[in-house]
């Protein structure tokens, strides 16, 4: 796995990895999204989206991959939805034939059906994993780590055994919606060693 990029000077520590035998990284950018009160008070967390534009060497497809971390539960769902829509716009701006996959901690364990409707209305598919991804506290147990996609058919989202993070990693299997060729599975562990949150495309 090759490191495409990481966020710098940011306590969230987002990172994207990819396989060089399957993909070529064209560009990468970290984006600041609308801040919550939590972000203004605590240490820097302004870069909540790490985006990488990739070229699929096998199929010729271009796609944009995003590692996303929404505002914490102290913020409103409305703010998180604004962050999600803004992140989608940033991914589309990067190109990738309007094929995007954004995965991360959406901090949206409640009213997910409402979020699903919002995503559908904007043309995106929201995919939850088969099991909960956060189980540390009884009150906040649930699905925190999602995937949103455009131009992809998501086969399954599998919750994997716990690693070093307090979030369980998820494994996404997807195919391109238009044209021949299959997109590879995408494994996105919620956290790796140290403080980096790894996003790996296989």
Dist. CA 170–CA 201, nearest whole Å:
12
**How confident is the model over 108-157, as pLDDT tens digits?**
766 677 878 888 998 998 887 766 655 555 545 555 678 899 999 998 87
Higher pLDDT among residues 54 and 183, named by residue: 54
Token duo for residue 111:
């009213």
pLDDT computed for residue 191 by the predictor = 35
Containing structural domain, residue 15: 2-201
d(CA 20, CA 2): 7
The three-state secondary structure class of 110 is coil
**Total residue count of the chain as it appears in this document:** 202
pLDDT confidence bin for 187, thresholds 50/70/90: very low
What pLDDT was estimated at residue 166? Answer: 58
Q: Over the stretch 45-104, which tens digit does the pLDDT of each residue have?
A: 678 899 999 999 999 999 999 999 887 767 788 888 999 999 999 999 998 789 999 988
Q: pTM for this one? A: 0.79
Contact present, 196 and 183 (Cβ < 8 Å)? no
Query: Which of 86, 131, 83 is closest to 107 using CA atoms?
Result: 83
Residues 101 and 52 sit within 8 Å (Cβ to Cβ): no
Provide the CATH number for the domain around residue 78: 3.60.10.10
**How many separate domains does the chain show?**
1
């Amino acid at each position: 796995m090759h490191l495409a990029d990481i966020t710098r000077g940011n306590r969230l520590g987002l990172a994207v990895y990819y396989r060089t035998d399957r993909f070529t990284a064209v560009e990468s950018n970290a984006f600041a999204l609308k801040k919550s009160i939590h972000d203004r008070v605590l240490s820097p967390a302004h870069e909540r989206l790490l985006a990488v534009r990739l070229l699929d060497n096998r199929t010729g497809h271009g796609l944009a991959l995003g590692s996303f971390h929404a505002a914490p539960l102290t913020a409103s769902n409305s703010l998180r939805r604004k962050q999600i829509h803004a992140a989608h716009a940033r991914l589309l701006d990067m190109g990738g034939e309007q094929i995007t996959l954004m995965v991360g901690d959406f901090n949206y364990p409640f009213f997910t059906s409402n979020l699903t409707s919002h995503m559908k209305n904007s043309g995106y598919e929201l995919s939850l994993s088969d099991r909960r991804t956060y189980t540390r506290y009884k009150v906040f147990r649930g699905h925190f780590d999602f995937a949103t996609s455009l131009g992809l058919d998501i086969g399954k989202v599998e919750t994997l055994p716990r690693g070093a993070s307090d979030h369980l990693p998820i494994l996404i299997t997807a195919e391109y919606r238009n044209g021949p060729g299959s997109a590879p599975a995408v494994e996105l562990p919620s956290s790796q060693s140290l403080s980096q949150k790894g996003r790996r495309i296989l």
